[in-house]
Chain A
Amino acid sequence: MITYPADNEMKQLAADELSLEGRPEAFAGALMNSSADLVADARQGDHEAFRLIFERYSRPVISFIYDMVSDRALAEELTQETFVRAYRNLSTMREETKLSTWLFGIARNVARESIRARVRDHAHVDLEDKSVLDLSGSDIAPVDQFLNKELNGVIERALAALDENKRLVFTLKVFQQRTYEEIAEITGYSIPKLKTDLHRARSEMRRRIGPYLAATSRSQT
């Protein structure tokens, strides 16, 4: 072992801010571009590493935020805020946390704050909104004429009609393919709760897009 002059304050500070156990290869080479390496480099102030993190995760993050807020311009703005917060708090990211999970956690907070602010200003989409629910009947086009744009619109409106918690777990599971453990970490929910929310969200979505699904299956057969 090695002996050093006592400096308890500095040791405590470093121990609090950084825990790098188990990743001795983090600085092994500049060419290694795993998320852990990028985080380690970005923590050192390497802007290029942080830009690579942005390139890698900007698309899933903006998609997730868009699903939460249903507004293109706002989603861009909130994605920017998410990455600025991530940069600011890189040093606080726990070693065992996956970068994507951590980023989704920040994005979720940013989106939630924005939704709260918007709810204060505008009435949010009513669950019983006619425009959302009235998707059945003769208005449905056959699937061969059914443009992707229309399908996107239907899903988007159905998603917006879910309440926030259900929308959150549904988006993370169905669109972002996160595991239950990751969703629990991102949202802070217990796994039984998120399973329940996910099941209810699926049921509601099914109810809203069901007619289109039926049309799809009729068309395929």
Chain B
Amino acid sequence: MKCEACLNLLEQHVDGELARRDAEAISAHLITCARCSGAFDQLAAEQEVYARYDRELEISPSLWGGIEARIARENRAVVSSSRFNLRELFAGLFVGSRVGFGFAGATAVLIAAIVIGVAYIRARKQSIAPKEIVTSGNVVDSKGGVHQDVKKPQNPKNAEEPKRQNKQEPNKSPNDRKEKPNDSTPRPLIPREGIAKAADQTDVFYTATAYSGEDIETQKHIERVQMLLRSIRNAEISSDDDAVDVSYEKALSRRLLSENIVLRRDAEMNGKFPVKTLLSDLEPFLIDIANLQDRSTPDELRAIKDRVRKTEIVATLQGY
């Protein structure tokens, strides 16, 4: 190796960035060349001086305290951001109008009128025409309850029977004709699986008004968890499979878990204990899914699936 080549590579040699062959060539050259060896010694002496550089910095406990406090503040801010946005929207509305209290008052009266009107229409609909929606053997009554349709015809011959029964009882009201739902079953707010499309406009309206403003974040989160758990519950697991690819579910579960923790803490701080309890119930499922291997065994997945089914967590989420 020539001196010029050696000097060009000397810094990289000191930095330990050279390929083994080059490093060996330089080491061999340094033994025989005083000039290059002097340059190397100088670089090594510099390194030694830099290694002695002491900034005398201490990590004070308050440093972590400050970070922790800021993180906690930001977590709270993220959860309530939708609330603030709504407020800002309204504030902007009034500021933008430039007509002050007069416009604000008129808007308030208008909103009140709309709310009363919609509530009246809804109440009227309920009293006039309770409906039945039949889907795949189940009946949804006008209040959203679900029950088995025992009158469903089993064959074409029997198909005429309900019609005859109706003819024989012409004075029977529509309420009498449908099956009564089990009174002990809580009335679900969100239409049940497979029935959402068939639900009438009343149900949609009720759901929309029930979740206004501050709960929207939690509601969306619960819907996402519900989708995940439902996908696990409905998964078709074949015993022939050596492993099942659940990397997507695992990644999603991790994200939802982080979200869940933030929302649960927020619910606890705001005294929303039913919501807090529900979110607490979700965490074991999310943790279990997050802990799965990317390629999980059918048994592991089946265990979670069985637990989702047995605990009826999906139904609980639907009832939220």
Contacts and interface: CB of A to CB of B under 8 A. Distances in A.
B43 to A, nearest CB: 8
* Chain B interface main SS type: helix
* Chain A interface main SS type: helix
A15, A51, A83, A217: residue with the most chain B Cβ atoms closer than 10 Å: A83
Given A2-B245, A7-B227, A21 B294 contact: yes
Interface string B177-191: 000000000000000
B67 interface: yes
Interface in A133-150: 148
Given A14-B251, A14-B252, A155-B53, A1 B244 contact: yes
A63 interface: yes
Contacts of A119: none
B67 A80 contact: yes
Interface stretch (B56-64, B83-91, B107-115, B306-314): B56-64
Interface in B250-264: 250-252, 254-255, 257-258, 261-262
Contacts, number: 145
Nearest to B67: A83
A73 to B, nearest CB: 11
A18 B57 contact: no
B56 A2 contact: no
B254 A43 contact: yes
B262 A45 contact: yes
Interface residues of A, number: 63
B316 interface: no
Interface string A1-39: 111110100110111011111001001000000000000
A66 interface: yes
22 contacts: A5-B234, A10-B227, A13-B252, A14-B255, A21-B247, A24-B295, A44-B254, A45-B257, A54-B64, A58-B64, A63-B55, A67-B55, A75-B57, A79-B63, A80-B67, A84-B74, A151-B49, A152-B53, A152-B54, A155-B50, A216-B45, A216-B49
Given A84-B71, A88-B74, 13 more contacts: A2-B241, A10-B227, A10-B252, A11-B252, A14-B248, A15-B251, A18-B251, A20-B247, A43-B254, A51-B68, A148-B54, A202-B43, A206-B42
User: Top 9 A-B pairs ranked by shortest CB distance?
Assistant: A45-B261, A18-B251, A14-B252, A4-B231, A27-B291, A45-B258, A14-B251, A24-B293, A2-B244
